């Protein structure tokens, strides 16, 4: 079964009529910004959705939902759609988005910032201080390559344990 892509306006109309909006991003991404009343079912653990209503799947830009359309179609026996442009398309259409600026940046954005800063520092120090600092840039590059090949990112694991990424005790 192939999923049709629908516009944000059409998705909003379906949602008003009771359709289920399913955000397949990771919980840290969902916490930072989401469509009001959408539900978070991360792609890695998504299973059968028990809903008689139509389902609209979304991610940040529409790329993840498009790339995983067959898997998402298998999750719902009824009407199901992909949101064109994802959350960003929804936002550009002027539809409401619930933002939480106090939520930490998404882990992968933190990885990108840390990896970029470490690589830049290694190269800069390699030129200005001692060539041995180039090893820092090489180490970060090797870690990113390993993450790409295996799907496991040591830096993401480490950053997820940092105090700013932990939920405060209630």
Give mean pLDDT, residues 123-142: 97
Is 40 a residue whose pLDDT tops 90? yes
The maximal CA–CA distance of the chain, rounded, in angstroms, is 64
Give the residue ranges of DSSP H helices in the chain: 8-16, 27-32, 63-67, 69-73, 86-92, 107-128, 134-150, 154-160
pTM to 2 decimals?
0.76
Catalytic residues: 59
Is 170 a residue whose pLDDT tops 60? no
pLDDT in the model for residue 169: 52
- 66-93, pLDDT tens digit by residue? 999 999 999 998 999 999 999 999 999 9
């Amino acid at each position: 079964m192939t999923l049709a892509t629908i516009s944000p306006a059409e998705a909003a109309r379906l949602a008003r009529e009771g359709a289920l909006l399913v955000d397949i991003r990771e919980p840290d991404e969902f916490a930072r910004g989401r469509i009001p009343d959408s539900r978070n079912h991360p792609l890695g653990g998504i299973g059968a959705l028990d809903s008689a209503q139509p389902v609209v799947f979304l991610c940040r830009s529409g790329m993840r939902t498009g790339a995983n359309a067959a898997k998402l179609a298998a999750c719902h026996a009824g009407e199901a759609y992909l949101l064109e442009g994802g959350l960003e398309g929804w936002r550009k259409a002027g539809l409401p988005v619930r933002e939480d600026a106090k939520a930490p940046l998404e882990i992968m954005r933190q990885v990108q910032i840390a990896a970029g800063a470490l690589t830049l520092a290694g190269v800069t120090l390699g030129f200005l201080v001692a060539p041995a600092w180039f090893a820092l840039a090489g180490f970060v590059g090797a870690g990113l390559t390993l993450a790409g090949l295996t799907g496991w990112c040591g830096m993401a694991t480490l950053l997820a344990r940092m105090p700013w990424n932990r939920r405060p005790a209630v």
